């Protein structure tokens, strides 16, 4: 079926002469006035072709939805987008039910949900022209090898910061993750809790892949010791920075960019070791109007759709490299960054362990955070005073789960978590990590005492 | 590697919510999150569950981008998006308000959750007309023609319609705290040019009685809390203790049978957070207020008679603000207790050109509440292109002025007679608001 050809329905007659009370004096009076008005049409003037609806399940914010709705409907008169909004963890069961609630398209930044849906047979293979759309960026696949979904936008990780606050504190803008472990950042970093904030587990995994399990976790322990933790909820990382409660906040680029577009006086920086989080699109297995669904997918991936992503209030990174040609030379081009080796994070390799990472972070670095921060301050103070606190540093840096054990697929599956969903996993295992962390902190405290710190 | 650096701050309502008080900040941030929340169809374990069954948009911000105004579609094949159509039939409801359409209720909900048909579509096309000013300048105006199509629940029949774009959200808490006695005083005060403002008398759900109306294009809502709750119910299908039932008419069986997570879907604490967030949004500070052209424009604004209704000063009771809204007022520039909303919050007959011929409590078909003008100059910056007047027909501030008639005819004619430079100065003043 041609998606551009509207389905004709019988004409609607505006008035119903046989309706009850049609001849009452009050009604006649108002009708006379109304019919004289510009706001009401006489009988039979209302003929219009019926629109066809594409139901799109998504978790994007209104800035994205409004722009794409307007653009798509302008490009395809007769087709209408209806947004069905659900967070990724809620989308997975919704799209796994029979009939899929009439949803035609799934469009969201949730790689784990797409992988799960494809495995469950809930998606239909895409058959769209992908000319000009790369298969990967850096180490991240942009197209599902099996053809069930394809990235429509990407987002990079990094930090929002208040340049003026950094200047007053004598802190340079960080260039890479290890810079955030410096003592000067103590209490100045806003850090989203990975088990609670959907984008954060991949962010945690970036240094783990870049520096390895032990060194990466040691970095996170020290960064967490410098940080204030932020839960999912009303406040934003960009609020914390923009309103002066933190000098720097770990976040995704578009959050910072949209805050800047709304007037926040902040900037954003990308680390040298980075990766991207792809937002993808797929057509559901039960799509009732495949042609219309494909029209929507094609629009999102088109030059016009990709250009919408660069709107200041949206500012997501297009997956069509040609879209960067129109951007300012100083703008961030992830394809150029990837070519320079800056986007080497492998999403596919990281995905199975993200839930495990978030749970481990929770037990080790979140639940007893006050104690952790106090100990790291003592370590930093002692090191500044020239004392040898190597043992304390080592104890605080020791990850409670060895790398080999973390590679266990069964353990990874036990802690599987969809973006934004509830954390799971065996309590006994999680308690074990927490207890091990307690022991390490006790050892660190004892070592500090012994060193006179 | 740096990606982007700060741009000069735009004046955005959100930024005005910043506050050093932790508790206040928390309630404002919760309210902002609710304002931006995309609502989820029930059943769901999401906290923001309960969209519909019939609705217009899935979030508040969809009709008030950046805290600003909505806009109409430019073409007949485009949907309403940041606009809605009020519906009624002749007569009054039990409280003197508009009598809802028996099948479609009091508002056209274009969308329905899966399994529930949307109520239909409103298609708007435009007819243009030329207005020739005394100095020979010609201005093109346009007026909407609305057609209801694709009825989901049978013929609409004779129906009264009133198109409304989303209103700007500046300073709503401050307007809530303008003493009722002041509105009554203004209504009774004699004015030149045949101007005579009237208060609307509307039903307060919370108080169970008729009170003075002050919010909405026809001043048909008594206070900020009810205005928000009504919009949540009418636009999103979200129930609250003020509007506890789902927005389904008896003819809409699938709507009435749709799953419900809980009633109310928006709890009192959430409604309070939303109200307090909006209450704390002040008006953008003026820009270029000291520029000579702007200063001359302000004098012309007053001399033309615009300020008779678009009043530059109203008293605001900070104690009432805090008592009614549960938070202190946002910082008020100029002298304490006096705000500059450029409205009298009263109804005025603006003539046939703007009339919707749909009574709304005591507001007649030609009556409209004086629109607050604060923040007007930011409209294009917040969500371009800005559209003005209740149905967004005016593409420029000048077009909006030229639609004024009825009680505003004399003021409009003075504006038309100003000449090119005088009109430019007056418009420069409006852009500074």
pLDDT of residue B334: 60
pLDDT at B335 (0 to 100): 63
Question: Is the torsion defined by CA of A405, A407, A410, A411 positive or negative?
Answer: positive
- Cβ B30–A234 below 8 Å, yes or no? yes
pLDDT of residue A247: 97
Q: Check pLDDT > 90 for residue A156.
A: yes
Best mutation target among A13, A38, A258 (most B Cβ atoms within 10 Å) is: A38
pTM beyond 0.95: the answer is: no
Question: Does any CB of chain A come closer than 8 Å to the CB of residue B66?
Answer: yes
DSSP sequence for A226-262:
TEEEE-SSS--HHHHHHTTS-SEEEEEHHHHHHHHHT
Residue of B nearest to A69 (CA): B81
- Report the distance separating Cα B176 and Cα B228, nearest Å: 12
∠ CA B189-B191-B196, nearest 5°, is: 75
Contact B36 A61 (CB under 8 A): yes
Q: Has residue A326 got a pLDDT over 90? A: no
Q: Does position A236 have pLDDT exceeding 90, yes or no?
A: no
The Cα-based distances of A35 to A48, A449, B204, B357 in angstroms read 20, 88, 32, 9
Residue A159 has pLDDT above 90, yes or no: yes
Q: Identify the three-state secondary structure at position A187.
A: coil
Phi, psi of A310 (to 5 degrees): -90, 0
CA distance, residue B185 to nearest chain A CA (Å): 32
User: Contact B145/A38, CB-based, under 8 Å?
Assistant: yes
Token pair in block for residue B292: 């000579």
Q: What is the pLDDT of residue B44?
A: 86
Contacts of A376 (CB under 8 A, 6+ apart): A186, A221, A222, A225, A226, A396
C-alpha radius of gyration, chain A, whole number: 27
pLDDT in tens, chain B (433 residues): 334 433 333 334 444 445 567 889 889 989 999 999 999 999 888 888 999 999 999 999 999 998 899 999 999 988 999 999 999 999 999 999 999 999 999 999 999 999 999 999 999 999 999 999 999 999 999 999 999 999 999 999 999 999 999 999 999 999 999 999 999 999 999 999 999 999 999 999 999 999 999 999 999 999 999 999 999 999 999 999 999 999 899 999 999 999 988 889 999 999 999 999 999 998 888 999 999 999 999 999 999 999 999 999 999 999 999 998 999 888 665 666 899 999 999 999 999 999 999 999 999 999 999 999 999 999 998 888 999 999 999 999 999 999 999 999 999 999 999 999 999 999 999 999 9
Instruction: Say which residues have a Cβ less than 8 Å from residue A148's Cβ, sequence separation at least 6.
Output: A114, A117, A118, A123, A124, A125, A126, A282
> CA-CA distance, B263 to B252, in Å (whole number)?
19
- Whole-angstrom Cα distance, residue B273 to residue B91? 36
Residue A40: pLDDT band with limits 50, 70, 90: very low
pLDDT of residue A420: 66
- Indicate yes or no: CB of A268 within 8 angstroms of CB of B36: no
- Decide if B254 touches A, using CB distance below 8 A: no
Q: What is the DSSP letter of B142?
A: E
Q: What secondary structure letter does DSSP report for A366?
A: I
The pLDDT assigned to B14 comes to 43
B157 interaction partners in chain A (CB closer than 8 Å):
14-16, 19
Q: Quick: pLDDT tens for A199-233.
A: 899 999 999 999 999 999 999 999 999 999 998 87
Beta carbons of B366 and B354 less than 8 angstroms apart = yes
What's the sign of the alpha-carbon dihedral B10, B13, B18, B19?
positive
**Can you give the pLDDT at residue A89?**
87
Residue A332: phi, psi to the nearest 5?
-85, 125
Render pLDDT for A68-126 as a digit per residue (tens, 0 to 9).
999 999 999 999 999 999 998 899 999 999 999 999 999 999 888 998 999 999 999 99
CA angle B415, B187, B345 (to 5 degrees): 65
Helix (H) or strand (E) holding B338: strand B338-339
E strand or H helix at A357: helix A354-361
Task: Output the pLDDT for position B424.
Answer: 98
A11 touching B (Cβ < 8 Å) = no
| Separation of alpha carbons A453 and B307, rounded Å | 71
Q: For strand A189-192 and strand A248-252, is the pairing parallel, antiparallel, or unpaired?
A: parallel
Flag if A268 and B4 touch (Cβ within 8 Å).
yes
pLDDT band at A195 (very low <50, low <70, confident <90, very high): very high
Q: Could you give the CA distance from residue A380 to residue B201 in angstroms, rounded to a whole number?
A: 67
Please report the pLDDT score of residue B202 as a whole number.
98
Query: Do B71 and B165 meet the contact criterion of CB atoms below 8 Å apart?
Result: yes
- For residue A339, name the pLDDT band (cuts at 50, 70, 90): very high
Yes or no: say if B370 and B219 are a contact pair by the CB < 8 Å rule: no
Q: Domains in chain A, start-ordered, CATH in brackets?
A: 25-154+276-337 (3.40.190.10)
CA–CA distance, B204 with B189 (Å, rounded to integer) = 26
pLDDT above 80: residue A54: yes
Other CB atoms within 10 A of residue A185 CB: 23
Residue B20, pLDDT score = 60
List the single residue in B12, B90, B146 with the smallest CB-CB distance to A27. Answer: B90
Q: Which residues pair with A53 in a beta bridge?
A: A80
Looking up tokens 């923009």, which residue turns up? Answer: A242
Question: What's the number of CA atoms in the CB half-sphere (13 Å) around residue B1?
Answer: 21
Q: What is the ipTM of this complex?
A: 0.90
| Paired tokens of A376 | 């790291």
What percentage of chain A carries pLDDT values higher than 70?
88
User: Is pLDDT of A21 > 90?
Assistant: no
């Amino acid at each position: 079926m041609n998606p551009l050809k509207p389905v004709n329905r019988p004409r609607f007659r505006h008035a119903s002469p046989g309706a009850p009370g049609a001849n009452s004096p009050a009604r006649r009076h108002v009708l006379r006035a109304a019919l004289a008005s510009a706001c009401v049409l006489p009988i039979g003037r209302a003929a219009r072709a019926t629109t066809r609806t594409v139901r799109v399940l998504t978790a994007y914010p209104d800035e994205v939805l409004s722009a794409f709705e307007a653009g798509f409907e302008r490009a395809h008169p007769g087709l209408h987008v209806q947004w069905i909004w659900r967070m990724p963890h809620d989308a997975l069961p919704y799209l796994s039910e029979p009939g899929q609630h009439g949803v035609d398209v799934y469009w969201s930044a949730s790689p784990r949900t797409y992988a799960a849906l494809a495995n469950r047979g809930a998606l239909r293979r895409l058959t769209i022209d992908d000319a000009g759309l790369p298969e990967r960026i850096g180490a991240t696949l942009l197209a599902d090898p099996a053809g069930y979904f394809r990235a429509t936008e990407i987002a990079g990780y990094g930090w929002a910061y208040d340049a003026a606050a950094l200047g007053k504190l004598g802190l340079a803008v960080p260039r890479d993750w290890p810079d955030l472990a410096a003592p000067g950042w103590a209490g100045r970093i806003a850090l989203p809790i990975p088990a609670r904030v959907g984008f954060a587990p991949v962010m945690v995994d970036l240094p783990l892949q870049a520096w390895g399990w032990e060194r990466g976790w040691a970095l996170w322990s020290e960064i967490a010791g410098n940080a204030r933790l932020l839960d999912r909820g009303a406040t934003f990382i960009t609020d914390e920075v923009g309103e002066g409660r933190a000098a720097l906040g770990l976040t995704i680029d578009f959050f910072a960019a949209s805050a800047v577009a709304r007037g926040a006086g902040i900037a954003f920086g990308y680390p040298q070791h980075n990766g991207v989080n792809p937002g993808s699109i797929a057509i559901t297995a039960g799509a009732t109007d495949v042609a219309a669904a494909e029209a929507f997918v094609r629009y999102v991936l088109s030059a016009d759709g990709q250009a919408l992503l660069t709107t200041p209030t949206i500012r997501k990174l297009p997956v069509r490299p040609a879209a960067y040609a129109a951007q300012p030379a100083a703008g961030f081009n992830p394809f150029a960054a990837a070519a320079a080796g800056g986007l080497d994070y492998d999403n596919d390799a990281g995905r199975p362990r993200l839930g495990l990472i978030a749970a481990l972070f929770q037990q080790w670095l979140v639940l007893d955070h006050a104690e952790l921060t106090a100990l790291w301050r003592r370590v930093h103070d002692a090191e500044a005073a020239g004392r040898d606190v190597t043992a304390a540093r080592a104890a605080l840096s020791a990850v409670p789960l060895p790398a080999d054990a973390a590679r266990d697929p069964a353990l990874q599956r036990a802690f599987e978590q969809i973006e934004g969903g509830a954390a799971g996993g065996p309590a006994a295992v999680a308690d074990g990590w927490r207890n091990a962390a307690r022991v390490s902190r006790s050892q660190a405290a004892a070592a500090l005492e012994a060193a006179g710190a | 590697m740096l990606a982007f650096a700060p741009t000069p701050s735009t004046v955005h309502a959100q930024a005005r919510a910043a506050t050093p008080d932790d508790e206040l900040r928390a309630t404002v941030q919760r309210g902002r999150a609710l304002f931006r929340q995309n609502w989820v169809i029930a059943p769901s374990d999401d906290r923001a569950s309960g969209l519909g069954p019939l609705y217009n948009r899935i979030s508040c911000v969809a009709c008030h981008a950046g805290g600003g105004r909505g806009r109409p579609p430019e073409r007949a094949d485009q949907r309403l998006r940041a606009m809605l159509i009020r519906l009624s039939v002749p007569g009054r409801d039990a409280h003197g308000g508009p009598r809802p359409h028996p099948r479609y209720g009091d508002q056209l909900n274009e969308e329905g959750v899966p399994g529930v048909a949307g109520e239909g579509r409103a298609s708007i096309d435009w007819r243009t007309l030329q207005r020739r000013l005394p100095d020979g300048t010609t201005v093109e105006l346009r007026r909407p023609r609305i057609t209801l199509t694709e009825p989901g629940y049978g013929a609409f029949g004779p129906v009264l319609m009133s198109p409304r774009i989303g209103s700007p959200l500046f300073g709503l808490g401050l307007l809530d705290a303008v003493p009722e006695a002041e509105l009554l005083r203004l209504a009774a005060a004699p004015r030149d040019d045949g101007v005579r403002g009237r208060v609307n008398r509307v039903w307060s759900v919370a108080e169970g009685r008729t009170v003075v109306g002050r919010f909405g294009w026809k001043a048909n809502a008594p206070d900020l809390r009810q205005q928000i709750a009504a919009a949540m119910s009418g636009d999103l299908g979200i129930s609250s203790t003020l509007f506890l039932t789902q927005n389904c008419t008896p003819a809409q069986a699938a709507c009435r049978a749709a799953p419900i997570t809980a009633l109310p879907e928006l709890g009192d604490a959430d409604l309070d957070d939303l109200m307090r967030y909006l209450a704390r949004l002040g008006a953008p500070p003026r820009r270029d207020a000291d520029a000579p052209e702007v200063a001359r424009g302000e004098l012309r604004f007053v001399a033309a008679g615009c300020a008779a209704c678009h009043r530059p000063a109203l008293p605001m009771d900070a104690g009432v603000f805090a008592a009614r809204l549960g938070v202190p007022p946002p910082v008020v520039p100029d002298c304490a207790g006096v705000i500059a909303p450029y409205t009298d919050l009263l109804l005025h007959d603006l003539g046939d050109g703007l009339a919707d011929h749909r009574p709304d409590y005591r507001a007649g078909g030609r009556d409209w509440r004086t629109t607050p003008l604060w923040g007007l100059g930011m409209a294009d910056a917040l969500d371009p292109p800005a559209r003005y007047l209740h149905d967004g027909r005016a593409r420029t501030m000048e077009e909006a002025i030229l639609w004024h008639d009825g009680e505003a005819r004399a003021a409009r004619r003075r504006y038309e007679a100003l000449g090119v430079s005088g009109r430019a100065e007056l418009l420069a003043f409006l852009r500074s608001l």
